[in-house]
Structure 1
Amino acid sequence: MPEQPPRREIWNHHPPLPIPDSALFHWPLNPKAALWWVTRRWIQLTSGTLFLATAILVYNLLQPAPETMQTLAPGWVLTIWARNLLLLTLYAGTLHLWLFTFTLQGDRLKYDARPLTRDNGAFAFRDQVKDNMFHSLTSGVAAWTLFEVLYWWGVSNNVIPTFAFRGNEAWFLLWLLAVPIFTSAHFYFVHRLLHWPPLYARVHALHHRSINIGPWSGLSMHPVESLLYASAVLIHFVVPSHPVIFLVHIYIKMIGPAFSHAGFESLLARDTRLINAGDFHHQLHHRFFECNYGTAEVPWDRWFGSFHDGSDAATERIKERRRRMARKT
């Protein structure tokens, strides 16, 4: 029998496999591991700590006066829009320049070794990066700005409940810990909805043009998807929180995808890891589509049978799942 050719490795790099579930849902519960899982993003240098620092600076130094925001007027609304445009450009642009333009770490820790797509008519301007930037900076920033403007107008008019930091430090901390868990639930169910064939074809397919992803791919969405995706922050319209928590939440939603879609596990300076960037859990979703609809924070995918842990066995199972779904449509 002729020798079989070696299996082609689809990944240039990947974390240790299989990728784990959230320590919050291991049984029997390991309290130490669970506590580390929910606090690590706030006590290490992570995208979470960057967003928290950005939120504090924006709220204290760059926020229009409350009396100004009591009336919806072009001046301050455009200020919020321009601020968001600059923040997304700063974060996504810096990641893209570091990883793809100047290739400061080559292909080290890059998940998929293939370059981002060029000269392909599937993308606007026949260029993946330009296409991704266009949709991120238009519909992505527009949805972000819409929810943020409505929030600040509601807070300024005492329509939306908030609490002060002083005297409510414990609630502030609990909100920080809860935001990623709530966001995971919202993202999973909205994402499953977007994979419903009629919505996928008309809306979500735009995001999935990018099979090999980069920082600008994260918010590259149809306007309907941008609104559904950003709607997680509506919880702050009804449940009292601190405005800094709202900003952290909306930055996780709207800037966070630049990190989760970076395509590299970490940023490197020489051999030192500066900050974690990509999310292999979500990279698998872009490669195999019908899996990993949620995030690693809560194992929704394992509970609903759509979890891909990175193993070959999981790849075959997801391929079979896609074949079954195709037969039903």
Structure 2
Amino acid sequence: MPLQPSIDKITEISRVLLSIAGRYLVFAGALYLFFYVWRRRTYWYSKIQQRYPESKHILREIVYSFFTILIFGAVILLVIYASKQHLTGIYPNISDKGYPYYFLSIGLMILMHDTYFYWTHRVMHWKPLFKLMHKTHHLSTNPTPFAAYAFHPLEAVVEIGIVPLIAFTIPYHGTALTIFSLYSLLLNVTGHLGYELFPQGFTTHKLFKWHNTSTHHNMHHRLIKCNYGLYFNIWDRLMGTNHPDYEKSFEQVVEKREKVKCKGDPGLLSDELATE
């Protein structure tokens, strides 16, 4: 009998870590295999930087991601423990607050995280903190989907900080937090995809221009002091931190992509696949 609590704890720890690792591998792994392996030559024309990262850089991203998963797991386990002690805003049934609030809470989480990410990101670009922790993430100047979790351990703590912030400040249902987490991972992975998928005119459209693109974050990795946002382009526009050539760069990538597609021969560019 005394062993049962320990077994239960190990089971819960394993479940949380496997869940985080599984989601990461499904999202990052699937997109990497599709764009960087299986259809590598076919979609070369959509590659933002016309070269592929070396294997050693991809391996580094995966190794740092492993430690990030452990840190994320530890923080989430603490939040789960706090929830069991009735210290967070979690509620058991969707009917307790109704579906309108349920969906509203997901939107609120996304907006909270977008604000949290922008400002913590800018703080980490302060020179002492950049050298201490954020420089690790910027080693990926030509990122792949695996860069989504390629953080210094200290930065990983900052990144997962949004979860306790949500848990201790707003009422939420467990599945709402799960949906938010999946959305966050998807946007994070596509931001580091290295390929531009959005259509021409996206960054100048009255509505869509407020949403970020892969080009936006790719420029951040390459140029560093610009384009700090995550989901939306709201804070960058308000604070004047968009790179002045962001929209131009996006259009150049998309125009090249569309030009090759119209010629009906994606292989035109694929014979000279460059590597860093």
TM-score (norm 2): 0.74
**Aligned-pair CA distance for 1:298:** 4.9
Against the structure 1 CA distance between its residues 248 and 300, is the aligned structure 2 distance closer, same or farther, given a 3 Å change threshold?
same
Distance 2:137 2:242 in 1: 20
Residue 157 of structure 2 is matched in structure 1 by: 227
**Aligned-pair CA distance for 1:117:** 2.6
Q: Does 1:179 align with 2:109?
A: yes
Q: Does 1:266 align with 2:197?
A: yes
Residue 57 of structure 2 is matched in structure 1 by: 128
Q: 1:190 aligns with which of 110, 114, 120?
A: 120
Distance 1:284 1:161 in 2: 38
Residue 308 of structure 1 is matched in structure 2 by: 243
Task: Report if aligned partners of 1:110, 1:264 keep a CA contact under 8 Å in 2.
Answer: yes
Distance 1:151 1:116 in 2: 37
State the number of aligned residues: 229
Q: Does 1:239 align with 2:164?
A: no
Distance 2:82 2:247 in 1: 50
| Unaligned 5+ runs, structure 2 | 199-211, 250-276
Against the structure 1 CA distance between its residues 313 and 82, is the aligned structure 2 distance closer, same or farther, given a 3 Å change threshold?
closer
Distance 1:302 1:82 in 2: 38
**Aligned-pair CA distance for 1:292:** 0.9
Q: 1:146 aligns with which of 70, 74, 79?
A: 74
Task: Report if aligned partners of 1:133, 1:220 keep a CA contact under 8 Å in 2.
Answer: yes
- Give the letter aligned to residue 258 of structure 1: V
- Give the letter aligned to residue 59 of structure 2: K
Distance 1:311 1:286 in 2: 13
Distance 2:178 2:64 in 1: 22
SS at match of 1:237: helix
Against the structure 1 CA distance between its residues 258 and 311, is the aligned structure 2 distance closer, same or farther, given a 3 Å change threshold?
closer
**Aligned-pair CA distance for 1:251:** 3.2
Task: Report if aligned partners of 1:215, 1:259 keep a CA contact under 8 Å in 2.
Answer: yes
TM-score (norm 1): 0.63
Task: Report if aligned partners of 2:140, 2:221 keep a CA contact under 8 Å in 1.
Answer: yes
Distance 1:169 1:98 in 2: 36
Task: Report if aligned partners of 2:20, 2:73 keep a CA contact under 8 Å in 1.
Answer: yes
**Aligned-pair CA distance for 1:187:** 0.5
Q: Does 1:204 align with 2:140?
A: no
Against the structure 1 CA distance between its residues 136 and 256, is the aligned structure 2 distance closer, same or farther, given a 3 Å change threshold?
farther
Residue 223 of structure 2 is matched in structure 1 by: 288
Distance 2:150 2:176 in 1: 25
Distance 1:177 1:297 in 2: 13
SS at match of 1:73: helix
SS at match of 2:90: coil
Distance 1:294 1:182 in 2: 12
Q: Does 1:95 align with 2:31?
A: yes
Distance 1:219 1:259 in 2: 12
**Aligned-pair CA distance for 1:99:** 0.7
Residue 23 of structure 1 is matched in structure 2 by: none
- Give the letter aligned to residue 115 of structure 1: Y
Distance 2:80 2:247 in 1: 48
**Aligned-pair CA distance for 1:200:** 0.5
Over the aligned positions, Cα root-mean-square deviation in angstroms equals: 2.7
> Normalized per residue, which structure has more helix?
2
Distance 1:296 1:114 in 2: 25
Percentage of matched positions with identical amino acids: 21
Against the structure 1 CA distance between its residues 142 and 253, is the aligned structure 2 distance closer, same or farther, given a 3 Å change threshold?
farther
Distance 1:156 1:309 in 2: 48
Task: Report if aligned partners of 2:89, 2:170 keep a CA contact under 8 Å in 1.
Answer: yes
Residue 83 of structure 2 is matched in structure 1 by: 155
Relative contact order, CA 8 A, sep 6+: which one is greater?
2
Distance 2:121 2:246 in 1: 23
SS at match of 1:152: helix
Q: 2:51 aligns with which of 87, 106, 114?
A: 114
Residue 201 of structure 2 is matched in structure 1 by: none
Against the structure 1 CA distance between its residues 177 and 284, is the aligned structure 2 distance closer, same or farther, given a 3 Å change threshold?
same
Distance 2:8 2:141 in 1: 40
